[in-house]
Structure 1
Amino acid sequence: MSAPALPASIVDSHFHLFRRADVPNAGLLSAGELQRDFLWPDFEAAWHGLPVKGGLMVQVRDEIDGVAEAAFVTSVAIPEPRLRGLVAGNLLEDPARRGELALLREVRLVRGIRRGTQFHPDPGYVARPPMIDGFRELGRLGLVGEVCVKHFQLEGVVELAKECRETTIVLDHLGKPEVGRQPQPVWEAELAELAERPNVRCKVSVVVQTPEDPPLDPAAMAPIIRHAVRVFGWERVIFGSNWPVSTTVIGYRDWLDLVLESLPPGSPEQLDALFAGNAVRTWRL
């Protein structure tokens, strides 16, 4: 079978850059493949020969100082205009840390804030009142809110989206379903319910659950991708790689091909929206 035709343009909505010494060796970052620096030349090498026109860097860990990380990314972007924006980190539920948002908003590259709760013991933590207050503040500041949760935490994101209607909320990694376990009626139903909220977007980006995950199974991912496109529609799904975390389970070109082969039939305009246009519009890149 021949490889699917490439999109005319790609804006990668989800990649990470970091110096190994700056990030904790914990969680997904403890994987053996990630024990080095990952900087712009490494990212460019991963997609060399593909029509990647730019990308949006996403914060690495919530424990990292978001203001300091923004300064690092700004230094990278000075000679590299294809680094179009940053989703910075902030502990939005902490009023003391929330004060940093005004500083981050003044950073030219900052387009949004991510708060990851995928490893929090409270599955509904993302919808607790202090977190809702934080996401509402993002809407007031004109910043996009981003959440990274696992499949059993999606109900909380639905509640968060209902309570923060003036904030655009982006769901990372398709809500992290259990790849390889089919069917997944609860994930399917909750993703569909989340898609009913017009202020929510969904990243079609590589799902990695643990540092020991096996290689990604294309046959298992295909119905997951199709379901996301079906419930959100072409105008609210956004391509991302999750590089370099993704390298523990799949290569950059392999992920791109997997997505292209899994999509329902779409027009050139719909494909452009998924691979570039929706990212540009969502984060004003």
Structure 2
Amino acid sequence: MSTAAPPCVAEVPPVIPPVFLAGTEAHGLHAAAGEYRLWLAIPQVPPPPGGFPVLTLLDANASFATVTEIARQGAVRAGATGIGATVVAGIAYPGEAPYHRARRGLDYTPGPPAEETVAHASGGRDAFLALLRGPVAELVAARCPVDTTRQVLAGHSLAGFFTLDVLAHDPDAFTDYIAISPSIWWDQPRLLAGLRQARQPARAPRVAIGVGEWEQGLTPWEAGAPEAARTAERRGRRAMVDNARAMAERIASTNAEVSFRVYPEENHGSVLPVAISRALRFVLGQGGGASAPGV
């Protein structure tokens, strides 16, 4: 009685290099606060006559690939999406961690929070902004033609607070601003004081502010968690949705064009990919866009 031949065993393929994001490049920068990485995605098309718009993206370790692909996909059909070819200049920190709590806590803040205590250092905001306006902007301009009239700063969470703080205190640093889930609770009085006193830029900035519906409370699946009460208290105290709406209304009372949106069924961790394409369309579209209801 013959026996069946053993099944063929597929040869295990050799390990190949990890996936990388084509059309991007990395540069190192040194500053007093430490080492930085500048990740650039430069459109692989001829620049428009005035140069490319530039999106300066904070927390690039967490979101550079996501935002770059959203910007690229938008540019494929710019006439339909309203998003033209755009340089993405991501500011990252050395290492693999998506968020570098201590470094961002220093870079994105003008000082300690108004009503809470944090363990990391704060107050590096001015030095970090100088890095963005000096070495970062110069390096980007050296790599491709840029449109100095279309310079967008984008940040999420504490980087969103930094974005609004730059708008409030240094409105000429960038032309347009995207603040997603901004941590306004960090120092709301400072933001409001800056908006009252700031000299208005010659061209009205476009400001997109977005926040997730569930950022001020619990998601449905968190309700029964052991830490639910503590989480709900903290989110209620920080009032992410209410503060973002009030800040959008305040900014709209200046000469800014403002888009404010609350994204249904999104939380602090999930809202960025949903919000960024709407925000890019608003700040980079030829005609801007209508402000959302309530602004």
TM range, normalised to the smaller chain?
0.3 to 0.5
Q: Which has the higher helix share?
A: 1
Q: Which has the higher strand share?
A: 2
Please give the TM-score of this superposition, normalised by the length of structure 2: 0.38
Please give the TM-score of this superposition, normalised by the length of structure 1: 0.39
- Flag the structure with larger Rg: 2
